[in-house]
Structure 1
Amino acid sequence: MALVVVKNPVAGGGRSAALWNACRGRIGELFPDHRIVETLPGQMAEQVRAAVEADGDRVLVLGGDGTIGAAAHGILCSSRPHTPLSFLACGTGCDFARNYQWPGAPEECLEALASATPGLVDVIRLEVWREGQWFALTHALNIASVGVSGAIIARMAGRGSLIDRLPPTLRYRLHCIFGIVAYRSRRVEVRVDGSVLADGPILVATVCNGGWFGSGLHVHPQTRPDDGLLDVVAAGCGGVAGNLAMFAAFDRGTHLVHPRVAYGRGTVVEIAPAADRQNEHAFLEADGEPYRGDRLRLTVLPGALTVALPPLMS
C-alpha cells in the first residue's frame, strides 16, 4: 500500500515538525511504502489530488483542521475519491479530531490508524452564488461558519502581531476577544431545508458536520459526522458586551439555551444577506480557512469520504 504523508510544516506554530520527528521512525515501520508531500500555502488540495492520482492508496495528514479539510477536498476532487484518509492532528484547534477516541501517545495513535477499518463519514459541500448560478467553492469536513468566526480567521491570517508569538490556543482565544470587540454584524437570513431559522444581525452561524470548533468550543453534543445531517447553530448579535457574553456561553457549553440562539438540523443550508444588505459579503470560514461570498449553499454529502480512524466518540 502506497501511503502519502501530507506534512504541513507550519501547522500549530511548529507542532507538525515536532510530531514528525517523534513519529517518522514508526511511520516507516508501519508503512514501509510511503512518500512525503510537504504542503505549500494555497496549494494543499491540489498537491493531495495529484499525489492520490499518481500512486497514493492512502493519505496520512500531519496538520491541523485546515490541512485535513484541504486533503479531504483534494481526495474528493481526484479520480480516486474513495482513497482512505487518516490524520494525526497537530494544528491550533485540532477540532475535528475531538470527534474520535484516540488512544494516547502519538506512537499508539499511529498503530490505531494502521489497524483501523475504513469507514465512511459525511462531508459539507460549499457553493457560492455568482452570476445567476451556483459555483462549487470547496468541501469542508468539520464545520463551516459565517460571521465573527470568519472575521477572526481572516484576522489570524494577517499575522505579524505580538499575539502570534503566543501558544496556539491562547493566541486563538485572544484573537476571538479582539475580533468580537471589532466586529460589525451583518444582517443575514439562514434557511435550513427551506425553512427560515434566523433572520437578522448574526454574531455567528455554524453549519456543523463535527461537534467542535474554535479550538475546543463544543457547538452541539448531538453532532456526528456520519449521521447524514448538518447541525446549524445561529447566534444573534447583542452589542459588544452581549457578544462577549455569548462567547463565554459557547466556552461553557450553555449557549444552546440562550434566547438569542436558534438551532436546527437538515441537509441543505442557505445563508444570504438580508434583502436590504445585498451588496455585503459575509465572512466565511471552512475548516479554519477564510473565504468570501455573499449568498452561500451548504449541502451534506452522506458517506462521501472514506476514512481510516479510531472509533467515533459515543
Structure 2
Amino acid sequence: MADRVLIIANPAAGGVSAALVWQVARRCRRPVSVRWTSTPGDAVDIARAATASADLVLAVGGDGTAREVAAGLATAWHHTVPMLVVPAGTANSLYRTLWGETPWLDAVEAALSGAAPIRADLARVLELDRLVLAGACAGFPPQAIHEAKTREVSYAAALASLADRYEPYPGRVLVDGLIVHSGPTMLANVGGSRFRGGAYELLPHSRMDDGLLDVCVIGAEHSTLEMLRLTQTGAHVDVPGVVYARGHRIRVERLDGHPLWFEHDGEVLASPRGSYTLTAVPSAVSMIAAPSAAVAAA
C-alpha cells in the first residue's frame, strides 16, 4: 500500500484543472505532494527526484505527461517506484490501453490499495536518444496532429479534413533488419500501447510487458477514410496492404529524400530526418494497470 504519493500535474494538458488535481489529492487519503510542471521536460526531472521520497507517482495529464514521468522513473537510481496514469489529456490512449473503460477513480483506488504493478516496456528513438511510452507513428497521424494544433481544431476534425487530400509517402519499414514493407505508405505505427489517438486500436495484439515492439504498417491499397473506420476496432489487421509484426528494433524510412512526418506520445517532431529507429527497452518502468483479462476485454 502506498504511504507517500506524489502527483505530477501538467497544466497545459487539455483536461487538467486545479479542481481535478484537488479531487485526486483528496482521493489519496494519505500524505500527498503536488508538483505542477511549467516547461517541457519538467516532469522527467520531478519524477526522477521523486524516487527518494515517494512510494507512488500519479501522472495527471495526457500521453505526453505520462511519457515524461515514465522517462524520469526509468532513469532514476532506484527505478522501482510505480506510476499510475490519471487521464486528463486530449486523447488518453495510454490510459485506455492500461485500464479499458475503468473510471480513473477506481484506478486510483486500486493503486492506493496495493495493486501489483506490471513492468512496462518503453522504446527508445536512437537518433534522438529519447524514450517513448505510448508509441510512435509516421505518416498520416502526425500530419493530422500538426494540423489540429496549427488550425486549432480537434484531432478528429483534423483527421477528417486531411483524409481526402492525404498523399501516401514512399516508405520502407524494417523489423530486426528484415524489410516487412516497401512502397506507398499511409502510416507506420510502432510501440506498446494498443490505442493511439484515443479511439484507434492500431496495435490490437500489443502487450506493454512482453519485451517487444509491435509495428503496424498500412499501405495505400485502401482509402484513408476506410482505414480510419477499420482501425477503431482493430479490423484493419486482416485486410490486404496491412503488415503487422513484432521485433526488438524497428526502422521507419521515407525514401524520396523529404522529411518524414513523425510523432511519439502525441508530440510531432520538427526534424528534417527521413528515418527513425526505435529499439525496445524491456521492463523499464513499474506501472499500475488493470488485470490483463480486464484490459483485453475492454
CA-to-aligned-CA distance 1:39-80 (integer Å, 9 cap, x gap): 224233444345336644432111111111121112223333
The residue number in structure 1 matching 2:117 is 118
CA distance 1:182–1:76, shift in 2 (3 Å) = farther
Higher helix share: 1
CA distance 1:53–1:118, shift in 2 (3 Å) = closer
Q: Which range is displaced more, 177-186 or 227-236?
A: 177-186
The residue number in structure 2 matching 1:284 is 262
CA distance 1:190–1:80, shift in 2 (3 Å) = same
CA distance in 1, matches of 2:48, 2:234: 41
CA distance in 1, matches of 2:235, 2:103: 31
TM-score when scaled to structure 1?
0.83
Residue identity matched to 2:206: T
Identify which of 7, 10, 16 aligns with 2:9: 7
CA distance in 2, matches of 1:191, 1:69: 25
The residue number in structure 2 matching 1:131 is none
CA distance 1:126–1:110, shift in 2 (3 Å) = same
Q: CA RMSD in A?
A: 2.4
1:254 aligns with 2:235: yes
Q: 1:168-179 counterparts in 2 under 5 A?
A: 171-179=154-162
Q: 1:292-307 counterparts in 2 under 5 A?
A: 292=271, 293-307=273-287
C-alpha contact (below 8 Å) 2:37/2:43 kept by paired residues = no
Higher strand share: 1
1:150 aligns with 2:162: no
Cα deviation, residue 233, structure 1:
0.7
1:23 aligns with 2:1: no
CA distance in 1, matches of 2:217, 2:96: 22
CA distance in 2, matches of 1:50, 1:290: 24
The residue number in structure 2 matching 1:244 is 225
CA distance in 2, matches of 1:210, 1:191: 20
TM-score when scaled to structure 2?
0.87
The residue number in structure 2 matching 1:85 is 83
Runs of 5+ consecutive residues of structure 1 not aligned to the other structure: 129-134, 164-170
Cα deviation, residue 109, structure 1:
2.5
The residue number in structure 2 matching 1:233 is 216
How many residues align? The count is 289
The residue number in structure 2 matching 1:166 is none
CA distance 1:114–1:81, shift in 2 (3 Å) = same
Runs of 5+ consecutive residues of structure 2 not aligned to the other structure: none
CA distance 1:154–1:48, shift in 2 (3 Å) = farther
CA distance 1:208–1:102, shift in 2 (3 Å) = closer
Residue identity matched to 1:308: I
The residue number in structure 2 matching 1:310 is 290
C-alpha contact (below 8 Å) 2:47/2:57 kept by paired residues = no
CA distance in 1, matches of 2:41, 2:220: 35
CA-to-aligned-CA distance 1:152-177 (integer Å, 9 cap, x gap): 22223335x3x3xxxxxxx2211111
C-alpha contact (below 8 Å) 1:113/1:310 kept by paired residues = no
The residue number in structure 2 matching 1:60 is 58
Residue identity matched to 1:289: E
CA distance in 2, matches of 1:41, 1:157: 18
Q: Which consecutive aligned stretches of 4+ in structure 1 deviate over 6 angstroms post-superposition? A: none
